[in-house]
Amino acid sequence: MWLDDLLAPLEAEGEESVSIEDEDETEVEPLKIASGPKLPSADAVEQHRCLHIPYRAWCKFCVMGQGRGDQHRSGPESTIPKIGVDYFFITSGGLKKRKELEMSDEAVEKARSEGEMLKCLIVRCYSTRNIWGHVVPVKGADEDDFAVNCAVDDILWLGHTQLILKGDNEPALQALIARSLEVLRIKTADDDSVTKLAKEDPAPYDSQGNGGIEVGVMVLRGLFRTLKLCLEARLGKFIPTSHAMMPWLLQHTCFLLNIAKRGQDGLTSWARARGRAFRQKVLGIGETVMYKLPTKGPRSQPDGNMGTKWQQGVFLGFSRDSNQYILGTEDGLAYSRALTRCPQPDRWSSDVLSNLRVTPWSVRDVKEPEVRLQDKKEGDDAAIETAAAAAPRRSRINASDLATHGFTDGCPQCGYTMRYGKPKAGTQHSQTCRESFLKAIGETPA
């Protein structure tokens, strides 16, 4: 009543009336409320405690001894694409997760170094259902860079402007995720369309918290075994784990899952990511084919303008970035946009395949430089002019200097170091930044 008396003079003077909205009309997000069990009668409780069969949620002893926790059911699709990563192993018994290997870490590393076991990386996009698999070589520090680059290339190919990376709590996997996000931020620094890069951690000690990647390993395991057995039957030979064909077979298995398996929406994983179906011709992995040489470049005419325009190679898969076929040759890898199949009796040769040595990471190996001594030439004993002394180098700004004296606003190198925790190659500190550091360092006792 007092509010009506207060507003009456205002309405009498022709002013607008004040309306107060009821807060009860606010919409509320429909959330899941945790349910609680209802306790039965005292007699029913006493009867149940004699057997504790069947399981009852209202019995604290049943929960303590038999409770399994909440089930990991898939909820509504996230508006931000989520990508799962994980490690698994290829053994003589097939694809296995680390928990399925009843071996110590030392035994696993020894088996890897001897070629009896291959460590692999799986990358799976939960929104498009694309899956990629890579064999990770045993190469010390280079191993991490290879795995990170594989994951980053897979993610960039998907073309997401926002994404969340997720893996289990394995320290090696968490380090790979952190490094992958760092590389992604650097590669997309100039791309304004990429707005969010983040990671999501499962609950501690929860082995089922990354169920989407578990499904990917299960699907990959079956088709990989099928393709390997089929290829061995065609060749009449057993393919050991250490053979160079195994990494290519793993990548090709993932590729077939992406281009051939349709979902409930009638689209393949490839079509969801690329907006079109895969249109290239499909061949059998390990098949001997004839491929066309490029029309230009150093590999166009190896035998001159009267030589062959086609050569023989082993089909190893498809290049998703350049729409070319990947071929294994005596000289290494070859790429071609056109190939033709051989007659049926000549398609599968164990002799040709046994000579395959190239792997997805062997093209990255840096050869040791060859140093050869040459004979002395006449005139080598002549006086050699001495070059002028080089200009003195500017003082170096170390990470310890930045931590002590702070960063300089407007300096490109300071801004990059603040963002990524390390300096950017090829970028220098501004002159203003350098002068301020020299002044600050000059004022210290050291």
Ranges in the chain, pLDDT < 50? 1-3, 6-7, 10, 365-366
pLDDT, position 269: 92
Start-end of CATH 3.30.420 domains in the chain = 82-221
pLDDT per position as a tens digit, 292-329:
888 776 667 766 667 788 889 999 999 988 889 999 98
| Whether 158 contacts 81, CB under 8 Å | yes
pTM: 0.68
Dihedral of CA atoms 412, 193, 126, 197 in degrees, nearest 10, equals 20
Residue with tokens 């020299």: 438
pLDDT, position 366: 47
Class in CATH terms, 82-221: alpha beta
Question: Angle of helix 412-420 relative to helix 171-187, nearest 10 degrees?
Answer: 150
